[in-house]
């Protein structure tokens, strides 16, 4: 039992399925009150019912489309103060820069970047006032190493890492922690949108992370000063190597990078 979470209020965006749903389950199991935020009221209610029946935990739902930044302030007023914010909502589309539409580009930035920043701004004043809190931003290994056909998605995750790193320094004299989560591919519905022909998911299936593994790592880090969670370790190793020897990694990894 993570005693740090007992009685804490945790708001999770993108909580109607996938990684967000699993983070909600594990948080509730630790005695936290969970606020589930996503676009689909019916799916949120289904997750809420599972949580309350299995754990008897306090659980609320909040219908929120984070791409509509004008709705976020009202949503957070409804939610009230939160101790932990998990910015999990996000999506990707795997297309080359020339093939990708400007509409898709705009949508990815609205959800993955602008929505994340807006939610963070709404949660921070209470956290700073109480000198305690935690912002957890779900980024990606794509934010550390870009590959073909994921340039726009990677750009949004680079932005999340840049924002998070700056925010961490800005909050250094407060009791508010900032953690970025940088997973590789996870077995969720993400790829139904990102990889519609299924080729990429099929080619890397054996390497994909389970949502439970990532969620457990996230929940275990809550209310700590953990800087980053990087999964899997071998992929993070490649990302580190890329920072030192980008040309070599691009040449050696060319075959793998073009599996999308």
Task: Give all strands of the β-sheet with 84-87 in edge-to-edge order.
Answer: 59-63, 33-38, 9-13, 84-87, 133-138, 176-183, 228-231
CA–CA separation, 182 and 121 (whole Å): 21
DSSP code for 66:
T
Is 258 designated active site?
no
How far is residue 81's CA from residue 65's CA, in Å, rounded to a whole number? 19
Query: Max alpha carbon distance in the chain (Å)?
Result: 53
Q: Which of 153, 200, 242, 258 is catalytic?
A: 153
Q: What are the beta bridge partners of residue 86?
A: 12, 136
In the three-class reduction of DSSP (H, G, I as helix; E, B as strand; rest coil), residue 182 is classed as strand
Q: Smallest Cα–Cα separation from 234: which of 212, 259, 204, 203?
A: 204
The C-alpha atoms of residue 177 and residue 184 are separated, in whole angstroms, by: 23
DSSP output for 230-245:
EESHHHHHHHHHHHH-
d(CA 240, CA 232): 13
The set of catalytic residues is: 153
């Amino acid at each position: 039992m993570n005693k740090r979470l007992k009685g804490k209020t945790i708001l999770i965006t993108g909580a109607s399925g996938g990684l967000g749903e699993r983070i909600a389950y594990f948080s509730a199991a630790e005695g936290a009150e969970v606020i589930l935020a996503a676009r689909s009221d019916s799916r949120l209610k289904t997750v809420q019912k599972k949580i309350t029946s299995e754990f008897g935990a306090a659980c609320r739902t909040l219908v929120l489309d984070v791409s509509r930044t004008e709705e976020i302030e009202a949503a957070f007023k409804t939610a009230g103060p939160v101790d932990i914010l998990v910015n999990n909502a996000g999506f990707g589309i795997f297309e080359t820069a020339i093939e990708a539409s400007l509409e898709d580009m705009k949508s990815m930035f609205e959800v993955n970047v602008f929505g994340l920043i807006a939610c963070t701004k709404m949660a921070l004043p209470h956290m700073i006032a109480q000198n305690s809190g935690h912002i957890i931003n779900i980024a990606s290994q794509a934010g550390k190493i870009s590959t073909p056909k994921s340039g726009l998605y990677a750009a949004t995750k680079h932005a999340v890492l840049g924002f998070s790193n700056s925010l961490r320094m800005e909050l250094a004299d407060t009791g508010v922690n900032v953690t970025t989560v940088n997973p590789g591919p996870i077995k969720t519905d993400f790829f139904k949108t990102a990889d519609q022909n299924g080729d990429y998911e099929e080619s890397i299936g054996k390497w994909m992370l389970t949502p439970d593994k990532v969620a457990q790592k996230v929940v275990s880090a809550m209310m700590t000063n953990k800087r980053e969670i990087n999964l899997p370790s071998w992929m993070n190793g490649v990302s580190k190597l890329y920072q030192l020897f980008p040309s070599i990694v691009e040449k050696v990894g060319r075959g793998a990078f073009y599996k999308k």
